[in-house]
Amino acid sequence: MTNVFYLKYRPQKIIDLDLSSIRQQLTELLASEKLPHAFLFTGPKGTGKTSSARIVAKAINCLQRTKGQIEPCNRCSACKSIMEGQAMDLIEIDAASNRGIDDIRDLKQKIRLTPAVFKYKVYIIDEVHMLTTEAFNALLKTLEEPPSHAVFILCTTEPHKLPDTIVSRCLHFKFRRANKIEIIRSLKRVAKSEALKVEPAVLDLISQASDGSFRDAVKVLEQLSFKSKKITQKQALVLLGEGDEVEFLKFLAKRVAKPALSWLNDKLDNGADLKHLGASWLDLLRRSLLACKGLDQELPSGLPDFNEAELKQLLTLFSRAALESKTAVIPHLPYELAVIEWSSDKVKNDPPKADTFTCPQSLRSSAGRRGPAGKVQNEEPAVLPEPDKQESSASTPKLQEVQSKWNQILSLVRPQNHSVEALLKAARPTKLEGNTLMIEVFYPFHKSRLETERCRLLVEEAVEKTLAQKTRVCYVLSNKLKPVIKKKAQPLSIDPTEILSQAAEEIFNN
């Protein structure tokens, strides 16, 4: 069975390394004939750390390499055994699954043995940051006084998790994310070997989508090659979901949720990568912000003209969504909530007035939204649904205090859990009896989510901080929702039930 591209075309010599800085550093090191006993390779995934470690192992054990020569020959028995994965004196350890002190003790016992075949016994420890504290302490002694025949190469994507005592005993090589030129160099080499005809625009698209990872870039090229030896820009756009992020930002510029949410869900239904989409939006917004500050940035044509405040707000919303998406039960929900929050009639930077209880964002009318021509309609937003008379008469000063400070409670919840804050925006406090606050919600899904212990404790803590009183919250499902509209000379032509339908559609994208 033929190897996948990223294994088949893994660099075998230093000159094959596409990361120019590492290529130069390793060349200078091997030319000096000064071999350290421990290397530390750190950097993002897919940048060539393990490949470089194997090249170093070949170079220092190559039987035909002479003084002053840098590259391994790849023909002698030592080089071939490493390339074929059969070298007895090259030990590769996955620290994620061999992370305990017993594993390191076993390594310490075996390291005393001289190499069976090679000049040096090489230990490559991948994801070394996964070792336990006890294992690091045991490894430290070996790094301090290693046998002359042993060489350690430690690889990790998270160097900040390594003890300083370990880092200080290694020669540190920092692998950075590959730039566009380096990614394209790697792709061209693979395309030439596979006799692929690739349009230049395809290479640009792949380099942007790979996030500086050679491995990810080659995997995308391989996937595109399944259908045909000729790879077009159109094929790449279909696979990567690229090319129309600008259209999504245009929807955001209009502050209309429905088309933006429809676009997002259509992309996801067609197999687009949510993580990649989010990264693309953030990259475009970031470059737009830098351009606003006078930095020279290459921006696509048709990009909406956001001002600096809007760009900062969008970057904050989507950065938070990208972070929350990693642990969300529904990964795209944080992005949908970000779109809905942004698409409310305006982004509020001013603190809410203490004597005003604003309507939940999702229940506001389309008044104040930007129309097709970009003009704001001069209509009053819907106010909070009027409670029953029985509830009004039962209101106490404390309940009125909760209602007047509802936005303050939301602001305390927001940094802890953006999703819970969004759900509370579509709810209302209706009764306060003793130390129990009753909150009315309008959707069963909202009720079940807010009643989970984690969410309940979060809300209770925010209420307690606001009221300076320990308060228990409970949720009830409303069976009526009657928005009351402030009438002006020109009454709204929108039916209240239509407003509710629109709110539900924005929240659930139905």
Domain with residue 260: its CATH number is: 1.20.272.10
64 and 206, same structural domain? Answer: no
What sections of 40-157 are H helices per DSSP? 49-61, 77-83, 101-111, 133-144
100 and 115, same structural domain? Answer: yes
230 and 256, same structural domain? Answer: no
Position 372 in a domain? no
pLDDT greater than 50 at residue 355: no
Domain with residue 442: its CATH number is: 3.30.300.180
**pLDDT for residue 79:** 93
Position 347 in a domain? no
What is the pTM for the complete model shown?
0.59
With beta carbons less than 8 A apart as the criterion, state whether 197 and 230 touch: yes
**pLDDT for residue 176:** 92
397 and 494, same structural domain? Answer: yes
478 and 410, same structural domain? Answer: yes
27 and 154, same structural domain? Answer: yes
Structure-token match 């294992």, residue found: 135
Position 376 in a domain? no
Domain with residue 45: its CATH number is: 3.40.50.300
Q: Is 460 exposed, middle or buried (0-12, 13-18, 19+ CB in 10 A)?
A: middle
Question: 254 is in which domain, residue-wise?
Answer: 245-342
**pLDDT for residue 108:** 81
pLDDT greater than 90 at residue 293: no
Render pLDDT for 405-460 as a digit per residue (tens, 0 to 9): 888 888 888 888 877 888 888 888 888 888 888 898 887 878 888 888 888 888 88
CA distance readout (Å), 289 to 105, 196, 293: 52, 38, 7
450 and 388, same structural domain? Answer: yes
Render pLDDT for 3-54 as a digit per residue (tens, 0 to 9): 788 888 899 999 999 888 999 999 999 888 888 999 999 999 999 999 999 9
Position 360 in a domain? no
53 and 157, same structural domain? Answer: yes
Domain with residue 210: its CATH number is: 1.10.8.60
**pLDDT for residue 423:** 84
What's the mean per-residue pLDDT of the chain? 80
Structural domain count, the chain? 4
91 and 9, same structural domain? Answer: yes
Indicate left, alpha or beta for 113 from its phi (over 0: left) and psi (-120 to 50: alpha): beta
Position 123 in a domain? yes
Q: Determine what percent of the chain is predicted with pLDDT higher than 90.
A: 24
Position 354 in a domain? no
124 and 86, same structural domain? Answer: yes
474 and 428, same structural domain? Answer: yes
207 and 111, same structural domain? Answer: no
